[in-house]
């Protein structure tokens, strides 16, 4: 992975921590990393961590990088700069505020997002996921082994997740720590551009024990599976199945629609979880799950890159459990 000087100043010690974890770290100075450098690195470590002295410079650097680099990009924010929507463009897989705790862990995790551009101009078709990539993610040895699931077995618990800016790494860490059960399923509404959904699903399937299903039209709701809607569509729970429908709001996929449908269809078998993100998507859906007798959980706003979504959900349903990311898997498992 390549880290520039501005990112290193915003995330002191991250290069040392990554090196101690066994990552290949290449330092670049106040210019964009060369695509040739990234090509020489093992593909699984081809990630660029970029910063900037101010918001305008960082935005310009990210736009240039995501249009030219065949790798995902992580933005390290200048000191005092809050995450803003304009930075979460195509190809930017995470935003790290200056001084982020456990930054190296998040960078290492995000380095395993499959390559989503081919060094071609923005808007071009992404490269297909590579087969036969190098060995497992360093955390893979710690994953709890999957539990075999009988095909077609209906779940007795469904975890419906609302996630946006800053939530990707929380989703991955949660699924890494949450043992697959024969009678549980996960439905995920992760706000992202349509072109990245297939790669995101492949990545989650590779770094967690949960096989990912991208729903194009409809699919049976089976235990032991992780479901996402195809790009540009909403995921909706129906009796015995999940369906992908045309997007209904500016939030795509719409978390309110997913969580609300899970509450109406599954009642007490639904568990709603709202993670980091901008806006209020997921708040009404979480409240619907609570009203229908299901469990409602929010990421602790103080731990979120962008606290707006969990804060809105807690205002709408004050009885929701408030949980830090590192404790989510254990808390969710209590009801599994």
CATH fit for domain 2-110, picks 1.10.10, 2.70.98, 2.70.50, 3.40.50: 3.40.50
Cα 284 to Cα 270: distance, rounded to the nearest angstrom: 15
Each residue's pLDDT tens digit, 99-123:
988 888 888 777 765 443 333 333 3
Determine the pLDDT at residue 229: 97
Mode of pairing for the β-strands spanning 270-274 and 295-299: parallel
Largest CA distance in the chain: 55
Looking up tokens 């609570």 gives 290
**Identical topology for domains 2-110 and 149-334:** yes
What residue spans define the domains of the chain? 2-110, 149-334
Which of the following is catalytic: 17, 191, 303, 308? Answer: 191
* DSSP letter string, 195-239: GGHHHHHHHHHHHSSS-EEEESSEEE--TT-EEEEPTTEEEEEET
191 belongs to the catalytic site? yes
Q: Which residues pair with 233 in a beta bridge?
A: 246
Determine the pLDDT at residue 75: 92
Each residue's pLDDT tens digit, 10-49:
999 998 888 887 777 888 887 787 777 766 665 445 688 9
What is the torsional sign of CA 267, 194, 140, 73?
A: negative
Determine the pLDDT at residue 20: 83
Which of the following is catalytic: 17, 261, 281, 303? Answer: 281
Task: Find the DSSP H helices in 231-317.
Answer: 255-266, 283-291, 308-316
User: What homologous superfamily is domain 149-334 in, according to CATH?
Assistant: Methylesterase CheB, C-terminal domain (3.40.50.180)
What average pLDDT values come out for the chain (336 residues) when binned by 10 residues? Answer: 91 89 81 74 70 93 83 88 78 85 81 45 32 32 40 82 89 84 86 80 83 95 94 96 95 96 97 94 98 97 91 98 93 78
Determine the pLDDT at residue 41: 65
Task: Find the DSSP H helices in the chain.
Answer: 5-10, 14-20, 35-40, 55-68, 103-110, 168-177, 197-207, 255-266, 283-291, 308-316, 328-334
Which of the following is catalytic: 164, 276, 303, 308? Answer: 164
137 belongs to the catalytic site? no
281 belongs to the catalytic site? yes
Q: Which two tokens stand for residue 299?
A: 């990421």
Q: Decide if 193 contacts 229 (C-beta within 8 A).
A: no
């Amino acid at each position: 992975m390549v880290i520039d000087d501005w990112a290193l100043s915003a995330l002191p010690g991250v290069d040392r921590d990554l090196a101690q974890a066994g990552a290949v770290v290449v330092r670049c100075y106040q210019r964009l990393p060369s695509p040739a450098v990234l090509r020489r690195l093992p593909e699984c470590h081809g990630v660029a961590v970029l910063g900037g002295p101010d918001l305008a410079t960082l935005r310009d650097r990210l736009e240039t990088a995501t249009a030219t680099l065949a790798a995902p990009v992580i933005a390290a924010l200048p000191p005092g700069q809050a995450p803003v929507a304009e930075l979460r463009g195509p190809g930017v897989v995470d935003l790290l505020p200056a001084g982020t705790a456990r930054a190296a862990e998040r960078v290492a995790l995000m380095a395993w997002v499959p390559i989503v551009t081919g060094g071609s101009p923005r808007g071009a078709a992404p490269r297909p996921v590579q087969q036969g990539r190098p060995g497992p993610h360093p955390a893979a040895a710690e994953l709890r082994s999957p539990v075999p699931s009988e095909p077609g077995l209906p779940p007795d618990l469904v975890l419906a997740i609302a996630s946006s800016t800053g939530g990707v790494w929380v989703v991955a860490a949660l699924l890494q720590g949450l043992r697959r059960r024969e009678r549980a399923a996960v439905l995920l509404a992760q706000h992202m551009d349509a072109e990245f959904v297939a790669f995101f699903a492949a990545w989650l399937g590779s770094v967690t024990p949960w096989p990912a299903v991208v729903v194009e039209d409809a699919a049976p709701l089976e235990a032991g599976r992780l479901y996402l809607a195809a790009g540009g569509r909403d995921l909706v729970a129906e009796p015995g199945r999940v369906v992908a429908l045309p997007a209904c709001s500016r939030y795509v996929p719409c978390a309110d629609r997913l969580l609300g449908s899970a509450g109406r269809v599954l009642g007490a078998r639904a568990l709603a979880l709202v993670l980091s993100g901008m806006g209020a998507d997921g708040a009404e859906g979480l409240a619907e799950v609570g009203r229908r007798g299901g469990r409602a959980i929010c990421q602790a706003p103080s731990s979120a890159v962008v606290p707006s979504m969990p804060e809105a959900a807690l205002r709408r349903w004050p009885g929701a459990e408030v949980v830090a990311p590192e404790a989510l898997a254990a808390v969710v498992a209590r009801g599994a």
